[in-house]
Structure 1
Amino acid sequence: MRDRLAGWVVTLAITAIAFVIRLVNIGYPNKLVFDETYYPKDAWTLWKFGYEREWPDAKSANTQIANGDVDIYKTTAEFVVHPPVGKWLIGLGEQMFGMNSFGWRFMPLVFGTLLVLVTIRFARRLSRSTLVGGIAGVLLTFDGLSFVMSRIGLLDIFQAFFIVAAVACVLADRDAYRGRLADHLEAVGMPDLGGRFGPVYWWRPWRLAAGVLFGLAIGTKWNSVFVLAAMGVLSVLWDVGARRLAGADWRAWQALLVDGVPAFVKLVVVSALIYVATWAGWLLTSGGYDRDWGKNNPDSPWTKYLGETWASFLKYHQDIYNFHTGQYIKDQTHPYDAHPIGWLVMARPIGIDAVNDIKPGVDGCWATGDDTCIRVISGMGTPILWWMAFLALFVGLVWWLAGRDWRFGLPIVAAMATYLPWFPNADRPVFFFYAICIVPFTVTILAMVMGLVLGPRDGPYRRRGAIIVGVAVALVVVNFAYIYPVLTDQLMLYKDWLARMWLRSWI
């Protein structure tokens, strides 16, 4: 009970710190930056009409919005290539605080903070250590990429939260399932199942909650489906392992069917239903993109067998899929295109916003001589953190495979499920900030490796381990403070900005 209370005190304290440092000056710059040119505007019309509408030319429209003239959208529907959950959430902030920079960044702030909270709880449950959970939370709090993505009106911070929360529920389901098997054996006074399959538990609320959260994750971005698939397979294999441990012998493999089918329903079917429900605005209105396709194509087999509405829904999804996989997107180029092979070492961060070559005396620039000033928002992680986490990934892999410690396997599988699917798509522009879905799992692995360094509480090397871990965490915090100006659009000398660009590829 005492550790449970301490766990929540630690969780809430670190979460509060994360919220405060992300909140400071979040409305600056008071303009749409980077891909905010899409999602806050989509969110505004989504809440007004149930579907996204087109806007005038981005340059002029964004200037008008920054000046407070926000209802300048067109009457025609916009073709959007991501599901609506993230935009519903961005729009919620706009409904509360207006169509302004604070309004469209408020809900990313909330969910970026909640991402810290759920990562702490996930790492704590996985490691069975409040200290390790707290370390993971501190590391994520002072990660530059997590910080920036919590302060910008994009979709990815919502996706990251839903994915981590869903994986945490899968983990909680594992613990609950094994606990119920143990309680059964204790209740019947048996040391093991004696070769029998054992009781079947249909009601598994944590698994159901995971299905709901995966549905919301996929309703934010489609590639969340890969994590759902990985966790579904892993969860059922855990069921097999639990029954084998309980003494079911070869009958444990029956869990692939007996437990696997209900798992499919709770995870896949439930997530599909939730996903469809997130499109309620489009389904219940008549003006959305492709909304009248079924009506205009009555002879299509889709229309004949599914009806006009669902045929239109399917056609819209086909159009979205074709956009993401078609030649148009493959032909695009971007100066911040970053191949996934370099993400884990932060080989190519992304520029979110920049005002270059600010002359001395302009905007308060204090440069002298030939020097100038600069303002930038860089989507970059805290370098020392990312490089330590990269090394910890290999340590965790060894501990999982050679040391047979399943606890390292879960965050590794989850991280790879958010990471490896990007490689087949590397023939189109992809960006480092997509790695926001990876970092909660890699900092969890790093925190668990730090737990190994710490060793047992009464171990002979505890003091030495505490010094090593303390220095490592302090270096992360100091490194974050050093790059803070390039995360927050602060005015700085060009040479000071350049000093923070440690790799040529960062420029």
Structure 2
Amino acid sequence: RTALLDVFLMFWVLAGFACLVVDRDATRARLVTWYESAAPETPGGPWLGARPWRIAAGVCLGASCAVKWSGIFFLVAFAVMSLMWDAGARRAIGLRRPYGGMFRHDLPTGLVAMAAAPALAYTASWAGWFATPYGWGRNWDQATSGGWAYFVLDSARSWVDYQVQVLTFHTGLAQSHPYQSWPWQWPLLLRPVSFHYPSDVKGCGAAQCSEAILGVGTPVIWYGAVIALIAMIAWYVSGRDWRGGAVLLAYGVGFLPWVYYAIADQRTMFLFYMAPLLPFMALALTLSAGLLIGPAAPQGSRRAVGAAVTGAFMLLVIVNFAWLYPVLSAETIPFEDWHRRMLFPSWI
């Protein structure tokens, strides 16, 4: 519907997260095979190979940084999370020094996968800029000759200068905007962004018509996700379930840095910065639905009640989205119908 970088950031962050989940499963299966093979006991365990899924995760997260620098928050947090999963896997099979094994065997390959691979992916995203002399700031000192060595040096210096310009721009971005909002407003959809609202719209059959594209989420999903995230906190605190912890970590590293920038720098920001967190909100809802429905053979009628509540929630989501759809897709509707869909005065 709208061409925003945050949509592509969301894709690469989710792809990197998915690769790490696959890597976690593959790593644990490999450790179980080693343990059951009567291999000589070692305090820290074995080396687990190159781990291509973690390398793929590093490439995806490097691509997320190439889309927007805020991808670095996910990269660092997911790298630490992956190493903690490694230590947890070694501890789960009874190794005496799980963290020693992680530092000795997993950290070196982790640095390749989650540091070198992202750096290469980020640099590769500039291939088009390096390949021609026409990009912004491409020839920093306007050199036109000097041989290949000088060309490479000038290219590197120009590229580093470009990065400095980007950093300077964003650290000083505090200009007011009518649709800016603060992070603590985002989970409750208190201030969305109006992308399209022309004047003098006709053709709706009423005296006054509206045609809008409002950058806002489906309220039932967003408010439900707030409850689901609270459930994830309770689940993780009570049972240390890795799934709840992973979702909470992803949500936190995508949200809390913006709280810091809002307080420390008064940086201009918008609701659509939440886009990379939408998959993790959906995962929180899905995991909460699983907890509500319960295991395959629960006692009494819990499963039927849980399924009914989950199904009712999904119906509310569909109805809520259908109700909002005209102001998400620039349908021409009477002004009164548009105004009824503005949940808060701050939506206008």
* Shared fold per TM-score greater than 0.5: yes
TM-score normalised by the chain length of structure 2: 0.93
Measured after TM superposition, the shift of residue 295 of structure 1 is: 4.9
1:169 to 19, 35, 39: 19
3-state SS in 2 of match to 1:168 = helix
Measured after TM superposition, the shift of residue 403 of structure 1 is: 2.1
User: Following the alignment from structure 1 to structure 2, what is the Cα–Cα distance between the partners of residues 481 and 251?
Assistant: 51
Measured after TM superposition, the shift of residue 194 of structure 1 is: 5.1
Measured after TM superposition, the shift of residue 465 of structure 1 is: 0.9
Residues 97-496 of structure 1: pairs in structure 2 closer than 5 A:
151-188=1-38, 196-295=43-142, 307-326=153-172, 329-330=173-174, 332-358=175-201, 363-368=202-207, 372-426=208-262, 427-459=266-298, 460=300, 461-496=302-337
User: Following the alignment from structure 1 to structure 2, what is the Cα–Cα distance between the partners of residues 351 and 251?
Assistant: 52
Amino acid at match of 1:494: F
User: Following the alignment from structure 1 to structure 2, what is the Cα–Cα distance between the partners of residues 487 and 277?
Assistant: 36
Taking structure 1 as reference, are residues 257 and 226 closer, same or farther at Cα in structure 2, changes over 3 Å only? farther
8 Å CA contact 2:46–2:105 kept in 1: the answer is: no
Measured after TM superposition, the shift of residue 311 of structure 1 is: 0.7
8 Å CA contact 2:88–2:98 kept in 1: the answer is: no
8 Å CA contact 2:87–2:102 kept in 1: the answer is: yes
Listed as ranges, the gaps of 5+ residues in structure 1 are 1-150
Measured after TM superposition, the shift of residue 309 of structure 1 is: 1.0
Measured after TM superposition, the shift of residue 175 of structure 1 is: 0.8
* Correspondence for 1:84: none
8 Å CA contact 2:12–2:63 kept in 1: the answer is: yes
Measured after TM superposition, the shift of residue 258 of structure 1 is: 2.6
3-state SS in 1 of match to 2:190 = coil
User: Following the alignment from structure 1 to structure 2, what is the Cα–Cα distance between the partners of residues 483 and 452?
Assistant: 29
* Correspondence for 1:94: none
Measured after TM superposition, the shift of residue 288 of structure 1 is: 1.4
User: Following the alignment from structure 2 to structure 1, what is the Cα–Cα distance between the partners of residues 104 and 80?
Assistant: 12
Q: How many aligned positions are there?
A: 339
8 Å CA contact 2:140–2:157 kept in 1: the answer is: yes
Taking structure 1 as reference, are residues 187 and 254 closer, same or farther at Cα in structure 2, changes over 3 Å only? closer
CA-to-aligned-CA distance 1:17-68 (integer Å, 9 cap, x gap): xxxxxxxxxxxxxxxxxxxxxxxxxxxxxxxxxxxxxxxxxxxxxxxxxxxx
User: Following the alignment from structure 2 to structure 1, what is the Cα–Cα distance between the partners of residues 185 and 142?
Assistant: 47
User: Following the alignment from structure 1 to structure 2, what is the Cα–Cα distance between the partners of residues 429 and 233?
Assistant: 29
3-state SS in 1 of match to 2:34 = helix
Measured after TM superposition, the shift of residue 406 of structure 1 is: 1.4
Amino acid at match of 1:155: L
CA-to-aligned-CA distance 1:181-214 (integer Å, 9 cap, x gap): 00111222x7xx8562221022201101101111
8 Å CA contact 1:170–1:207 kept in 2: the answer is: yes
Amino acid at match of 1:238: W
8 Å CA contact 1:195–1:251 kept in 2: the answer is: no
8 Å CA contact 2:46–2:101 kept in 1: the answer is: no
User: Following the alignment from structure 2 to structure 1, what is the Cα–Cα distance between the partners of residues 155 and 253?
Assistant: 33
Measured after TM superposition, the shift of residue 155 of structure 1 is: 1.6
User: Following the alignment from structure 1 to structure 2, what is the Cα–Cα distance between the partners of residues 312 and 386?
Assistant: 43
User: Following the alignment from structure 2 to structure 1, what is the Cα–Cα distance between the partners of residues 92 and 239?
Assistant: 18
The range that moved more, 162-171 or 411-420, is 411-420
8 Å CA contact 1:215–1:275 kept in 2: the answer is: yes
Amino acid at match of 1:184: W
User: Following the alignment from structure 1 to structure 2, what is the Cα–Cα distance between the partners of residues 178 and 434?
Assistant: 34
Percent sequence identity over aligned pairs: 38
